[in-house]
Amino acid sequence: MSIILIKNQGEFRKKLACCFDSVSITGEEKKEEIKEKCINFISFLPIVFSDDLERKTLWDRISNGIYSATTKCDNDFEKFINYVLEYIKADAAKVASNKEFSDFLTYTVKQSDEWKIAFINYCQTKYFIVVTYARQKWEEKKAEKGKDNGK
Partner 1 sequence: MENKIRTYKIYCILETLSPLTHMMGVSGNESLINREPIIYKNRKVFVPVISGNSIRHRMIRSAGSEYLVKQMEIDGKLGLDQLDFMFYGGRLCETKTTTNISKIAEMEELFPLYRLLGGSLKNQIIAGSLDVWRGLLICEENRKTINEYLPEEYKITNKLLPADLFIGNYQYTRGDARNIRNISSIADNVSSLDDREKSNLMLYSGQQVNRNSLFFHGFSTKHISNIEIGCLFHSLQLWSENCSTVGGMAAKGHGRVIINCIMHDIDIDISECILLYIEHVKKNKEKMVKWLDANFPKKKNKGDILDG
Interface residues toward partner 1, by CB under 8 A: 1-7, 9, 12, 15-16, 18-21, 24, 121, 125
Please state the φ and ψ torsions of residue 82, each to the nearest 5 degrees.
-65, -45
Nearer residue to partner 1 within complex by CB, 38 or 85 = 38
Interatomic CA distance for residues 112 and 115, integer angstroms: 5
| Closest CB to partner 1 among residues 12, 107 | 12
3-class DSSP assignment, residue 7: coil
Please state the closest distance from residue 70 (CB atom) to partner 1, in A: 12
Least distance in angstroms from the C-beta of 22 to partner 1: 8
Is 6 or 53 the residue whose CB approaches partner 1 more closely? 6
Question: Closer CB to partner 1, residue 18 or residue 93?
Answer: 18
Among candidates 20, 41, 21, 17, which has minimal Cα distance to 122? 41
Our CB check for partner 1 shows the closer of 5 and 92 to be 5
Residues 88 and 58: their CA atoms lie apart, in Å, by 8
Min dist CB 20 to partner 1, Å, is: 4
- Following DSSP, what letter does each residue of 91-125 receive, concatenated? -HHHHHH-HHHHHHHHHHHTS-HHHHHHHHHHHHH
Residue 11 CB, nearest approach to partner 1 (Å): 9
Least spacing, CB of residue 146 vs partner 1, in Å: 40
Listed in sequence order, the residues at least 6 apart from 68 whose beta carbon sits closer than 8 Å to its beta carbon are 83, 87
